[in-house]
């Protein structure tokens, strides 16, 4: 068993419905969110710690925090 494989919580954006408002960028304590090409939010998986702050702030409710195996 690879001991480096762990379950981690990460934010995922439903980019179809993201309105690129930038609210998630402002609240993320890890600076893991950016507005990509001015059209949608993009998560930096290396930086995201899955705290869920962005998901709470998103006015369009398009961010979901999920457990992933990394
Ligand atoms: S879950 Fe937390 S760390 Fe990850 S992008 Fe959202 S606010 Fe940033
Ligand atoms: S807060 Fe929601 S709608 Fe606004 S940029 Fe972030 S993901 Fe998109």
CATH 3.30.70.20 assigned to 7-69? yes
Query: Do β-strands 33-36 and 40-43 pair in parallel, antiparallel, or remain unpaired?
Result: antiparallel
Q: Is the pTM here over 0.85, yes or no?
A: yes
Please report the atom of ligand 1 found closest to the CA of residue 55.
Answer: 6
Q: Where are the domains of the chain?
A: 7-69
Question: Hey, whose CA ends up nearest to atom 2 of ligand 1?
Answer: 51
pLDDT of 11-70, one tens digit each?
999 999 999 999 999 999 999 999 999 999 999 999 999 999 999 999 999 999 999 997
Q: How far apart are CA 69 and CA 18, in angstroms?
A: 25
Residue labelled with tokens 């930038």: 22
* Cβ neighbour number for residue 23 with a 10 Å cutoff: 18
Distance 20 CA to ligand 1 centre (A): 16
């Amino acid at each position: 068993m690879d001991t480096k494989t762990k379950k981690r919580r990460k934010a995922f954006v439903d980019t179809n419905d993201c309105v690129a408002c930038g609210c998630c960028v402002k609240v993320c304590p890890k600076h893991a969110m950016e507005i990509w090409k001015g059209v949608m939010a993009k998560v930096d998986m290396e930086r995201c710690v899955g705290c869920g702050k962005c998901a709470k702030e998103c006015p369009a409710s398009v961010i979901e925090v999920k457990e992933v195996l990394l």
